[in-house]
Chains A and B, each alone.
Chain A
């Protein structure tokens, strides 16, 4: 018995040893590529991480943003970089999905060891990634997430755009004062923090201004058939539909609403801003209005200069608001690095918080105590495939 026990013991020790050898080998294997990839910025580079929807149903947002960011970085590097170092951009695709956004940011922070983060546009994606940036102490600048909750995650999270309470107010005022509407129905995307928030702020402001909400229905991003909701909304005879969604669904909703005989105005927010909107919705979008961060038609000389530079870099493609915001966010971040005099994340954070009157393409950017930008918004009209400037609304 004893010997048997001993043998068994020896065997199990041998097994243990083998297992630990294998484990060690595996660890070494894993560590090798990590060490290789974790190429910590060599001393004359500053790494900035970008995460965004380069593919997926909101890919147009990520693509435009990326072009804006790249343009800004090229310009900065061409003029000698910052603190005597070049900026290197590391880009990760999150396919427009919150869970992928978190993965992307985790990778940028732990593997690439970036000094700061740029992104995202969709509020749900920023909200998914922000806690990671906050807990790792890496400053994150969102260029276009307008939901208030994004910067409430913590003191490392900033944005260079206005927030939805303001955007909701802009469209409510525009609907009530400029279009003289009294009854508006709402169709919101329940899956999106942005859409739900914006619908609520619109409702508050529109009702406060003396208007009435005729109906409030919802859909989920990815739906293709909206006839049921539209039929019941149109039956309530609203003068306009407020659709605070993203362009893919908005295009289909516009089509189906017009098919069902709706002729009133269609209203929305900055989620409409994409060339794809017209491609999908077509004529149905005429008599549509949405709030946005900037207008490409703005005659101000600095905006004309930006538009020309952007076109020269992108085969004549005009920059949309996302491109302008991406450009601004990058320059605000680099300006903070310059003022911080260091690429240490905590120093960048402190400098970012001091951002005041930065002359951006989308307006003068001052970050308030909530780390949000206070800026004016524009209202654009959709007409025959063009977004025409209607009016500017100051905060």
Chain B
């Protein structure tokens, strides 16, 4: 029973990472119907921005507030930097092809992703770096089931962001404008919505989320490298599709499910075929519910 609970917790912890990254995918897709393949790479850039900021800060702050002050600054810097990168990507790569065919946009997205990965390998070096333990790890042992403050932080952030984003999109004027752009950009423009601004903003928020994800995950698993966004990006994308791409609660649900599927397959089945079996489960779910678990059933031309 203890082992089962521990595996459940492992799954939740892994899944919350996917959920956090999946939020950004789903948000950009929801507004633009664009799969931003560079999202995983922005996640990586977020982790590196955090790494270099913490090296700059190191020793200047001490252990003020249990590292929370430093963590807060690093998080802010990295989120702002990545929001900028996200807007830049949109402006330079996606905006020129916005009216082109979907396939063109998809290829551009893949190109941007490869470009970031390779430039990052040149700039940061390809060897893994150790992400500093800004928030000291606290270990809780609850009747043999072990978890840490960092794991809770990742899960809590994913849930809080999910609620925050949903409220933002449903309740605010800007959120309303986003929904309008998602529905019909031309009509939205006629109604006085600044479509370019809204799309830029969507990318900024999505990329800031990725940066937050990159930092929280690196706290938990402190080896970072320029290709770290590759697999996480793919898994998060799958999580977003599983939950129903475009649906914000769906991204979180999909992430958690994927994490648990992987963990239970590795823990109780065969760790060698972990990804294969986990993805098989996903294929079966998508065969039964093509729009994803919480997605709206609509015909989509890709």
> Residues on A close to B: CB < 8 A?
55-57, 59-60, 95, 190, 217-220, 222, 224-225, 227-229, 231-232, 235, 248, 251-252, 255, 259-261, 276, 279-280
Contact = CB atoms under 8 A, between A and B. Distances in A.
Task: State the 9 A-B residue pairs at the shortest beta-carbon distance, nearest first.
Answer: A55-B126, A228-B266, A59-B127, A227-B10, A228-B263, A224-B221, A228-B267, A217-B271, A235-B3
Interface in B147-166: 148
A190 B272 contact: yes
Contacts of B146: 259-261
B126 A59 contact: yes
B231 interface: yes
Contact of B127 (A57, A227, A251, A260): A57
Contacts of A56: 126-127
Contact of B231 (A222, A260, A280): A222
A279 B130 contact: yes
B126 A252 contact: no
15 contacts: A56-B126, A56-B127, A59-B125, A59-B127, A220-B275, A224-B223, A227-B10, A228-B14, A228-B263, A228-B265, A231-B3, A231-B6, A260-B146, A280-B128, A280-B130
A280 B222 CA distance: 7
Contacts of A219: 271
By size class, the interface of chain B is 35 or more
A229 B267 contact: yes
Contacts of B221: 224-225, 252
Contacts, number: 87
Interface of B: 2-3, 6-7, 10-11, 13-14, 17, 121, 125-128, 130, 137, 139, 141, 144, 146, 148, 221-223, 225, 227-228, 231, 262-268, 271-272, 274-275
B127 A55 contact: yes
Given A228-B267, A235-B2, A280-B222, 12 more contacts: A55-B127, A56-B127, A57-B126, A225-B14, A228-B264, A231-B3, A231-B10, A232-B268, A252-B221, A261-B141, A261-B144, A276-B130
A251 B223 contact: yes
Contact of A55 (B17, B121, B148, B223): B121
Given A227-B13, A228-B10, A229-B266, A259 B148 contact: yes
Nearest to B14: A225
Most A Cβ at <10 Å: residue of B2, B17, B146, B266:
B266
Given A55-B121, A224-B221, A218 B128 contact: no
Given A228-B263, A235-B3, A259 B11 contact: no
Interface centre among A60, A218, A219, A231 (most CB of B within 10 A): A231
Contact of A57 (B13, B225, B262, B263): B225
Contacts of B272: 190, 218
Contacts of B268: 232
Nearest to A261: B146
